[in-house]
């Protein structure tokens, strides 16, 4: 037998004990305190894709055991049930995130891959648009040099022969007056010189041709600038549309939302019922008067059909 002095020392030391402090220690204490743990053993997915963290569940259960301090099998079962409900609600949250990720992760790709009735893509990416803008800017710089050259040569009264090499500009001028020049000889193989002489034949002077060529160059510059501005607006439009698509994708679709809400509602009912039952059981154990729960059955009849609802 131990002495009375030793007994008092043991009791004093026991009062200093605060139990496990770490999550791991609490989990071990919780598993030790629960005699069966049938619910806890089956709830965590421990293998395969989507495996869950057993230690995280153990820590949750340990915290609940520490909070509710169950005594007896019934209270232990109810604490387990509360932990299981919390764990399953976490799955509901992951389901919602997964559903949203399925839509949001492919939103940008789906937007740029969308095709019209003609099979052509409806929207170009910023990279593609920037490449077009770069090409147009380089082209416009060349047109601006050509315009400066045309204005300078025209002001000096230079011969149109000096710009015969720029056939593309002459070709654009020919396209404008092709109908009036359709009866001229050698029309099938027009050259810059042939176009110039053909315009002279239909009463255009060299000075007028200079002015027309300058005007064509100015129109091309204006057209390039307008196209660049449109492409820049397309980039802004793409950004706004994608932002709207992603914001509208912040909620699951109706079918997915209904599934999620039904699941969450069912789990929450079980959770609140378990908490309610545990509190009643613990009050009863502590000697409090706990009245029997009130149960009300409602029968509602449709006044028109008499059917029971």
Tell me how far apart the alpha carbons of residues 92 and 86 are, in angstroms, rounded to a whole number: 10
**Average pLDDT for 139-159:** 93
Across the chain, mean pLDDT equals 85
pLDDT of residue 308: 55
pLDDT at residue 11, as a whole number: 42
Contact present, 174 and 195 (Cβ < 8 Å)? yes
| 5 has pLDDT over 60 | no
pLDDT score of 13: 41
Q: For position 38, what pLDDT does the model report?
A: 65
Give tens-digit pLDDT for 22-79: 555 444 444 444 554 666 677 888 888 888 999 999 999 999 999 999 999 999 999 9
Identify the pLDDT of residue 288: 87
What's the average model confidence in pLDDT over 151-161? 92
Q: Where are the domains of the chain?
A: 19-105+253-285, 126-248
Q: Who has greater pLDDT, 124 or 184?
A: 124
């Amino acid at each position: 037998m131990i002495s009375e002095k030793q007994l008092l020392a043991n009791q004093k030391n026991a009062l200093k004990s605060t139990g496990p402090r770490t999550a791991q220690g609490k989990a071990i204490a919780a598993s030790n305190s629960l005699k069966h743990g049938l619910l806890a053993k089956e709830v965590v997915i421990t293998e395969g894709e989507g495996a869950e963290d057993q230690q995280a569940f153990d820590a949750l259960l340990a915290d609940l055991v520490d909070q509710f301090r169950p005594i007896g099998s019934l209270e232990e079962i109810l604490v387990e049930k509360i932990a299981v409900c919390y764990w399953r609600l976490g799955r509901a949250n992951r389901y919602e995130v997964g559903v949203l990720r399925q839509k949001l992760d492919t939103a940008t790709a789906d937007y740029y891959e969308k095709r019209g009735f003609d099979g052509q893509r409806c929207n170009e990416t910023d990279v593609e648009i920037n490449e077009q803008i770069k090409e147009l800017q380089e082209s416009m710089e060349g047109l601006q040099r050509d315009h400066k050259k045309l204005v300078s040569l025209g002001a000096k009264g230079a011969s149109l022969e000096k710009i015969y090499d720029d056939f593309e500009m002459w070709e654009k001028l020919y396209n404008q007056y092709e109908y009036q020049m359709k009866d001229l000889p050698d029309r099938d193989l027009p050259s810059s010189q042939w176009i110039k002489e053909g315009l002279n034949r239909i009463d255009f002077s060299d000075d007028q041709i200079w002015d027309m060529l300058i005007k064509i160059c100015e129109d091309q510059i204006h057209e390039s600038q307008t196209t660049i501005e449109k492409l820049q607006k397309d980039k802004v439009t793409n950004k706004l549309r994608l932002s709207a698509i992603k914001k509208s994708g912040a909620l699951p679709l109706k079918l997915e939302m209904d599934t999620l809400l039904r699941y969450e509602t069912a789990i929450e009912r079980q959770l609140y019922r378990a908490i309610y039952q545990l509190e009643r059981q613990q009050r009863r154990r502590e000697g409090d008067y706990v009245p029997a729960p009130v149960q009300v059955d409602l029968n509602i009849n449709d006044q028109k059909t008499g059917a029971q609802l």
